[in-house]
Amino acid sequence: MPRPARFTIRAASALTGINPNTLRAWERRYGLVRPERTPKGYRLYTDDDLKRLRLIQRALQQGISVGRVKDHLGDMAAIETLIEDTANMPPAPARATRVLEVSLADAGLAGSTTIRLPSRARRGAAEQSLADFSDQIEQAALRFDRAWLERSFSRAVGLYSLRHAFYHALAPALQRVGERYLKDLGNVAEEHFLTAFAREKLIAALAGLRPLHQHPRVLFACGPGEQHEIMLMLLALEVGLEGVSALYLGPDVPGEAMLHAAQDSGIRVIVVSCTMRLPKDCLLDVHKRLSVMTRRIRLMAGGPAADRERAWLEGHGIGVLSLDPEEAGRQVLQAIHRH
């Protein structure tokens, strides 16, 4: 049985959207989650710890007090019930908070009167859908509002997961911001701003993973000339969450560099991301040179361009990854274990 993955506090924070200081405070003050410690005292969170943290966060966002959460700590199902019960409670009577001064002249009377309007109901964070978060992220990017971007994304991560926040909130927002630029409604600056934010979040998550092996097993690279790397980073994260160590080379990598990096390491699979076009000559050359190596290394290509050229790739014995990131992650893991 493989040892389950462990996450540093940085990765746990990236994966749950909970600030590292808050994680430490919850542990110190309330003992809500007590991660394992390395011999040097660094915290290591398990998958179960992360599940528990997300649940606690949902409970707090629903307005349940830390004290009540603490009372139910041993029983995750009880916390779920508590959250459901609170969500199903009838809303508290609206408080009149907006006071308007209305002239009575239209009614033929002198003077004015005050009326009280119920405050507009604020939707709780727990009710917000990923589409709502996606809108907020888009708006924040269009205003270059870093604080709001951070807040919307962290909340989406906290309520759903890093994976869902990326695939269903940030990626669609990025797509829309990109489309605005193409339609001359926006500027490429907003697209770069949001991409830089996405990269930053993914780098933090990748850096915080604690792989199970010392040597990397998968090499991730964008093909020559290819700049689109967000999906490749997400794939590296998918695999990293399963405890597999990755060597991430980023955009625009020549075939020679891929071979050089894979040669004397524990690499078993090379994943090449091809969004715009398929670098056929490069892939053929890498594939040919891998096939004469004593250690077998599998070459796999993924992304829209690879998907369009599926028949060509398969005809040359090069693996093709699904466009669905979770499925692609599973395919990479299978390829590692088969080798």
Q: Under rule CB under 6 A, which residues in 172-211 are in contact with ligand B12? A: 174-175, 178, 182, 191-192, 195, 199
Task: Please work out the total of residues on this chain that contact ligand B12, with binding judged by CB under 6 A.
Answer: 30
Identify the residue among 65, 112, 227, 291 touching ligand B12 (CB under 6 A). Answer: 227
The one-letter amino acid code at 239 reads: V
Identify the residue among 50, 235, 269, 335 touching ligand B12 (CB under 6 A). Answer: 235
**Two tokens, residue 166:** 């990326």
Within a 10 A sphere around the Cβ of 243, how many other Cβ atoms? 18
Residue with token string 């969450």? 241
Q: Which stretch binds ligand B12 (CB under 6 A): 90-98, 117-125, 227-235, 281-289?
A: 227-235
Binding string to ligand B12 for residues 127 to 166, with x set by CB under 6 A, is what? ----------------------------------------
Helices (H), the chain: 9-16, 20-25, 47-61, 66-71, 76-88, 130-142, 146-159, 162-164, 171-182, 188-207, 230-240, 255-263, 280-291, 304-308, 310-315, 325-338
Query: Residue 277: which H helix or E strand, with range?
Result: none
Closest separation in Å from C-beta 105 to ligand B12: 55
**Two tokens, residue 261:** 């990096």
Q: Under rule CB under 6 A, which residues in 276-305 are in contact with ligand B12? A: 276, 302-304
Query: Residue 44: which H helix or E strand, with range?
Result: strand 43-46
Task: Report the SS3 class of residue 69.
Answer: helix
Distance of CA 128 to the CA centre of its chain: 17
Closest separation in Å from C-beta 323 to ligand B12: 4
Identify the residue among 156, 206, 218, 231 touching ligand B12 (CB under 6 A). Answer: 231
Nearer residue to ligand B12 within complex by CB, 64 or 235: 235
CA distance 306 to 275: 7
The one-letter amino acid code at 62 reads: Q
Residue with token string 């390395």? 38
| Interaction of residue 171 with ligand B12, rule CB under 6 A | yes
Q: Under rule CB under 6 A, which residues in 3-42 are in contact with ligand B12? A: none
Nearer residue to ligand B12 within complex by CB, 20 or 178: 178
Closest separation in Å from C-beta 175 to ligand B12: 4
Cα–Cα distance list, 92 to 86, 97, 118, 122, 282 (Å)? 11, 14, 12, 12, 64
CA distance 310 to 193: 33
Identify the residue among 138, 190, 229, 309 touching ligand B12 (CB under 6 A). Answer: 229
| Interaction of residue 82 with ligand B12, rule CB under 6 A | no
Identify the residue among 23, 273, 279, 298 touching ligand B12 (CB under 6 A). Answer: 273
Closest separation in Å from C-beta 146 to ligand B12: 18
Instruction: Give me the residues that bind ligand B12 (CB under 6 A), please.
Output: 171, 174-175, 178, 182, 191-192, 195, 199, 225-232, 234-235, 271, 273, 275-276, 302-304, 321, 323, 325, 328
